[in-house]
Amino acid sequence: MKRATRVFGVIFGALLSSLALKLFVQKAQLVPSGITGVTTLFQKELSSVFGINISFGPLFLLLNVLIFLFVSKHIGKKFVTLSFIHVGFTSLFVSMIPSISLTDDVLLLTIFGGILNGLGISLALKMGGSSGGLDFISVYYATVKNRPMWHNVLIFNMFLLLYNGWRYDWTLSFYSIIYQFISTEILSNFHDRYKLSSLRIITIYPNEVSEAILKQVRHGITRFEGYGMFQKKKRYMLYMVVNSFEIKEVLNAIKETDSHAFIEVSTVNRIEGNFHQRPIE
């Protein structure tokens, strides 16, 4: 994917997130979650308990930097750059978008705001970036454990919002939990980096097909010998597991090498053992 395409995609994702924040979250007075929510709660607690007022911007930036330092060895420069582009343009768009009243129904604002926010973050991740904050931690642990961590982040956000409800306002916290749940469901459905698929390839050119695949991805391939009962000829089956986002390039490599290959693609719920995860650039 070209760099310009990635940057444009991240910026468009930032626009969707900004629309969710400005037209839905702020209108419904929902409680932000993630690092934004942590920063907001820090502000509230410091003000109510100690009488100390700290600006949102510097504290928000400090928390993001601390998180980045914690995960910096496991995420690449491109990912960080694109993430900060998303964060920067989100802040810019929020200040530029006028306050428009679409509806006064808090539930509708919650639902559609959650959908827009989930799509915005999903697009940023698809382009190789993120929305910063807890996304850094989620991507870090997902890379280490090789499975999605978005629902773990949702649990953290729920506890954060329940604390806010206990301290300040239960009604808005409950609506905010619905907002976060919808965003997370959209995100987990559209973000396919940690979704796995198995491929079974029937071919008469096992070595050539395997070499073509390995030029695209770094996953093991197992070869089986078989016999085609229809044409009464010897066949070979290649079996492998890949990330779902790699399927297109693998299929193209197979078809270019053997246009008559038979390919079955299946969803994998879980794997045990060594599996190479493409590093985040």
pLDDT, one tens digit per residue, over 39-66 is 777 877 887 778 777 776 677 677 777 8
- Asked if 253 contacts 246 with a C-beta cutoff of 8 angstroms, the reply is no
Domains of the chain: 3-190 (no CATH), 196-268 (3.30.70.120)
Q: Of 93, 212, 235, 67, which is closest to residue 153 (Cα–Cα)?
A: 67
**How confident is residue 1, by pLDDT bands cut at 50, 70 and 90?**
low
- pLDDT at 5 (0 to 100): 85
Residue 85 has pLDDT above 80, yes or no: yes
CB 168 within 8 A of CB 47: no
Q: What is the mean pLDDT of residues 21-31?
A: 84
Return the exposure string of 7-37: e unless at least 16 CB atoms fall within 10 Å of the residue's CB, then b: bebbbbbbbbbbbbbbbbbbbbebbbbbbbb
CA–CA gap between residue 49 and residue 45 (Å, rounded): 6
Higher pLDDT pick, 70 / 142: 70
In this model, does residue 104 exceed pLDDT 90? no
Write the pLDDT tens digit of every residue in 140-164. 666 666 666 666 777 887 888 888 8
- Indicate the length of the chain as a whole number: 281
| pLDDT-based confidence at residue 257 (cuts at 50, 70, 90) | very high
Question: Is residue 83 over pLDDT 60?
Answer: yes
